[in-house]
Structure 1
Amino acid sequence: MKKRIAIIMGGYSSEYKISLKSGNVVYRYLDHDKFDLYRIHIFKDKWVYVDDLEKEHTVDRHDFSIVLRGTKISFDCVFNAIHGSPGEDGLMQSYFELLEVPQTSCGFYQAALTFNKRDLLSVLRPYGIKSAPSYYLNKGDEINEDAIIENVKLPCFVKANKSGSSYGITKVYKKEELKKAIEVAYKEDDEIIIEGFLDGIEVSVGVIKYKGKIKVLPITEIVTENDFFDYEAKYEGKSREITPARISQKQEDNVIGVAKKMYALLKMKGFTRSEFIFLGNEPYLLEMNTTPGLTTESILPQQAQKAGISLNELFENAINEVLP
């Protein structure tokens, strides 16, 4: 009997459109002969199953089920394709854990931790994971520009602490630009992280659990036409993503070691994609994503294909890893 798989997509954040694209790619590439697949849209105002005729059917949130033609349907597994809240911050993970429904992304603690850039860097620092100098602000805090610049220097990046796809991020060159950048970040989150600029090669490193083992995928070098790898660079063709990255063997060995160490330390499962910048041979961590983009143009699927793993294999393996 075919397993019933719910592919959740959408979400509550600015990333919902990207998530819908990711979820539909998963739906398209998973084998419909092996699985019964259901596209579930998760929004603040509705949770619905969207059938092939684009008709919506309400999801019962008490047990995550739907009713079709008078028959109640529950799911054997959930494929999580939600970027941002509630799919990447631990909320959906907690919900499915309470319902005892397997889901493809990491656990609720790991999701909440990695979604909070400040907390992630703080947890990993004692293990020797390097990161840029930083300064933290919460909404309502006094903005002391001199103290910020003394800590992180200029230029610097002002970022929303809990946001993805480079929403709420500004590169600041002058003291007088700081307050405007902070306002932009506060539109995405009430917590901010301000980081010093690291001038080096930027790479993206995908790590997955594949056939029961931690696997680091071929590394991608990010070369952007813009000032940094912002939303436009990520999604509107203003960057080149070069896989494998043009880095030395020493750099490659170091970043693979760090990425694998992080995955194991945090007791991860599913997909992760982490961004680093090299200073010399040393990789400095920027962030870790636990529900990375899964469109055909996204970095992690490109990396998987370079490793000889098709999109069908990538997505099916994620399900097989969590099914009992």
Structure 2
Amino acid sequence: MKKKKKIAIIMGGDTEESVISLKSGKEVYNNLNKEEFDPYQIHIFRDKWVLIDNKTNHEYFVNKHDFTVCLSENQILKFDCVFNVIHGTPGEDGILQAYFHLLKIPYTGCHFHHASITFNKKYCLSLLREFGINTAVSFFLNKNQSFCEKKIFNKVGLPCFVKPNRSGSSLGISKVYEKEKFFYAVEKAFKIDNEIIIESYLKGTEISVGVISFNNKIKVLPITEIISKNDFFDFESKYSGESQEITPARLFPKVEKEIQILSKKIYQILNLSGISRSEYILVNGVPFFLEINTVPGLSEESIFPKQLKIAGISLSDFFKNVIYSSIGWKKIEK
């Protein structure tokens, strides 16, 4: 009988996104084939790393030195692969990926150095601009750095967006219409990160595009059109039903094809693997890249699973493919 792979599903994290991450982790756990995998739910928070027994809710502490779990005096649990569903730090910015890389434990998603670039909006946007990718006009600020508001407004205009440079789920983002509200938005963003990005407002249609590595091929999933009931696609819009999501998006075939080619190109430029989801604004049919998520939400309310469903790919098959490609990639890397 084939030995089942022991899979650590890591979830939680250090940000407000941890609530969404726990839902994503539960979805992965529920959809893994239990005849082929032994999945374990690992909660990783700033103050503790624990394995949660699904039947008893008993907590077993994770040994951070080698990422093992002592289940009993004579039973030490070691994992064949880590399935990463931590949104934001430390699961999406390369920190945990580098940790597992050092321990030589295969993990899902992109390499740690690619994660550190994609999670940093400044680095990611700067890199993609070198390849001719359209982006909003932007201005970067470090905490405690002096700045001239007039210079910023002359460059990005009003309204504009003020964002933490390293954050997800639209946390800490403000849309600024008036100069008087700018300083408040800057303070709000600096509460999340010590680097912020100020971007020009792009008027158009927001879309979300999932790209995956599936059966050793890069596949672009059906595109989602986002219509937010709020002023923009903020945290409430994403997770409280304050938006309408239309998949497939209502696009002209030519525009759809261009976005598919562009999304695949960005995936290759960033040298990604596994899952990604990119956000764009379509301005008169021209896509402008906003950001990319390499650990997107996998809960029932999330965009990515809906795109998979329309593509005809079950969560069970997709998760299986992600795990085995991660294990295979790690063997090749050794």
Shared fold per TM-score greater than 0.5 = yes
Partner of 2:221: 217
What whole-Å deviation, never above 9, does each CA across 1:237-277 have from its counterpart, x for those lacking one?
Answer: 00001000011112111111111001111111010000001
Report the CA distance between 1:69 and its aligned residue: 2.2
What whole-Å deviation, never above 9, does each CA across 1:214-257 have from its counterpart, x for those lacking one?
Answer: 00000000001110000110000000010000111121111111
Partner of 2:332: none
Partner of 2:179: 175
Aligned with residue 15 of structure 1, among 5, 14, 17 = 17
Confirm or deny that 1:31 pairs with 2:40: no
How many residues align? The count is 324
How many Å separate the matches in 1 of 2:248 and 2:324? 27
How many Å separate the matches in 2 of 1:272 and 1:60? 30
Report the CA distance between 1:317 and its aligned residue: 1.4
How many Å separate the matches in 1 of 2:125 and 2:153? 20
**1:308 is matched by which residue type in structure 2?**
G
Partner of 1:231: 235
Partner of 1:55: 58
Confirm or deny that 1:193 pairs with 2:207: no
**2:293 is matched by which residue type in structure 1?**
N
Is the contact between residue 254 and residue 281 of structure 1 (CA under 8 Å) also seen in structure 2? no
How many Å separate the matches in 1 of 2:48 and 2:152? 42
Partner of 1:263: 267
Which residues of 2 match residues 85-234 of structure 1 at below 5 A?
85-234=89-238
How many Å separate the matches in 2 of 1:201 and 1:249? 16
What whole-Å deviation, never above 9, does each CA across 1:79-128 have from its counterpart, x for those lacking one?
Answer: 00000011000011101111111111110111100110011000111111
How many Å separate the matches in 1 of 2:18 and 2:137? 31
Partner of 1:4: 6
**2:272 is matched by which residue type in structure 1?**
M
Partner of 1:65: 68
SS at match of 2:130: helix
How many Å separate the matches in 2 of 1:136 and 1:151? 11
| Normalised TM-score (structure 1) | 0.99
Partner of 1:247: 251
Confirm or deny that 1:287 pairs with 2:291: yes
Report the CA distance between 1:144 and its aligned residue: 1.7
Structure 1: state its 5+ residue gaps: none
The runs of at least 4 aligned residues of structure 1 exceeding 4 Å deviation read: none
How many Å separate the matches in 1 of 2:27 and 2:91? 17
**1:51 is matched by which residue type in structure 2?**
D
Report the CA distance between 1:34 and its aligned residue: 1.1
How many Å separate the matches in 2 of 1:296 and 1:211? 24
Is the contact between residue 132 and residue 284 of structure 1 (CA under 8 Å) also seen in structure 2? yes
| Normalised TM-score (structure 2) | 0.96
SS at match of 2:225: strand
SS at match of 2:256: helix
How many Å separate the matches in 2 of 1:3 and 1:13? 30
Report the CA distance between 1:143 and its aligned residue: 3.4
Which residues of 2 match residues 313-324 of structure 1 at below 5 A?
313-324=317-328
Aligned-pair Cα RMSD in Å: 0.8
How many Å separate the matches in 2 of 1:311 and 1:85? 24
How many Å separate the matches in 2 of 1:110 and 1:284? 21
Structure 2: state its 5+ residue gaps: 329-334
How many Å separate the matches in 2 of 1:135 and 1:107? 28
